[in-house]
Amino acid sequence: MKLFLSSRYTRRVFAVLLGAALTACSSISGGSLQATTIHPSSAPTTTLKALPSILPTSTAKLDQSSLSGRILFSAGPHLHQDIYVINADGSDLTQLTDDPAADYDPAWSPDGTRIAFRSRRDGNDEIYVMNADGSRQRRLSQDYGERPAWSPDGRYILFTAGGLYVM
């Protein structure tokens, strides 16, 4: 049974989770970061060692409104993930894919206008591409593909399928 959440509810959940993550990262001190993975099968808390040069020197809160850019990610139950984008400040969560099969491993094109991703829509992992707004989703690979990545000039998509391929 698949659980469908309203867009409004989904936006709130992701905004709250993103806000909590940013708040947690903004209060880092002492050279380590406490990270909690929100997944039922994961360990509750892990201590990660971080580079001292990237850690804040005080416990001042991060001003989320100063963040810019967009975050591209996949989320959802295993084998039923979809691809989302959200502004770095936590606003404007947008679901880009809505397929019963898994859509995941998204990768921005260098110019930010397209997204390559992996999907199980055809029964096995295939490489797809779509516009940054989720439109014009189309399959590129024919038999199998995973880990899509764009070439620096955006002309090619690299992926693995028992070896490294370029299309």
The pLDDT score that the predictor gives to residue 12 is 47
pLDDT at residue number 44? 39
69 falls within a domain = yes
Contacts 24+ apart (CB under 8 A), 20-24: 22/62, 22/64, 22/67, 22/90, 23/61, 23/62
Question: Is 29 among the domain residues?
Answer: yes
98 lies in some domain: yes
Predicted confidence at residue 60, as pLDDT, reads 64
What is the reported pTM? 0.62
Is 2 a domain residue? Answer: no
Long-range residue pairs from 96-103, CB within 8 A, at least 24 positions apart, any chain: 96/130, 96/133, 96/134, 97/130, 97/134, 97/137, 100/2, 102/76, 102/78, 103/74, 103/128
Domain count across the chain: 1
Question: Does the residue 67 lie in any domain?
Answer: yes
Q: What is the mean pLDDT of each run of 10 residues along the chain (167 residues)?
A: 40 46 40 34 39 54 76 91 92 93 95 95 93 95 91 94 89
Domain that holds residue 22: 7-166
